[in-house]
């Protein structure tokens, strides 16, 4: 009834043939189209998954866009407007 676990082998299966493969053939193309960001461990613990990171960054972008170009006078007006709502 109990199955014995198969021994894991570091050997590749015979049907895999990479003898004519070219190392790094698509590396440059991949690097041009990918945008991988590695978070520091202390930052990564604050987020459960990629969606949480993206949501947080989008929120920061909205705040930055709203505050971009505000003068001191317009910032005061914006504070007053927020308090009244």
Q: Are 6 and 20 in contact (CB under 8 A)?
A: no
Note the pLDDT of residue 51. Answer: 94
pLDDT for the residue numbered 55: 97
Q: Which domain holds residue 52?
A: 27-84
Quick check: is 44 in a domain? yes
- pLDDT, tens digit, for every residue of 29-79? 888 887 888 899 999 999 999 999 999 999 999 999 888 876 667 667 777
Q: Is residue 74 part of a domain?
A: yes
Q: How many CB atoms lie within 10 A of CB 47?
A: 14
Rounded Cα distance between 35 and 50, Å, is 13
What local confidence, expressed as pLDDT, does residue 36 receive? Answer: 82
Asked if residue 64 is part of any domain, the answer here is yes
Establish if 38 belongs to a structural domain. Answer: yes
15 inside domain: no
Phi, psi torsion values for 66, nearest 5 degrees: -65, -40
Count: domains in the chain: 1
pLDDT confidence of residue 1: 58
Q: Alpha-carbon distance 45 to 21, whole Å? A: 39
pLDDT of 48: 94
Asked if 56 contacts 47 with a C-beta cutoff of 8 angstroms, the reply is yes
Q: Does position 7 have pLDDT exceeding 70, yes or no?
A: no
pTM: 0.45
Dihedral of alpha carbons 7, 8, 10, 15, sign: positive
């Amino acid at each position: 009834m109990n199955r014995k676990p198969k021994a894991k082998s570091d050997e590749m299966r015979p049907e895999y043939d990479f003898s004519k493969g070219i190392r790094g053939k698509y590396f440059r193309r991949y690097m041009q189209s990918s945008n991988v960001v590695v978070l520091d461990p202390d930052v990564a613990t604050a987020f459960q998954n990629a969606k949480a990171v993206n949501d947080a960054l989008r929120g920061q972008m909205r705040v930055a866009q709203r505050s971009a170009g505000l003068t001191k006078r317009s910032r005061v007006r914006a504070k007053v407007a927020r308090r009244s709502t």
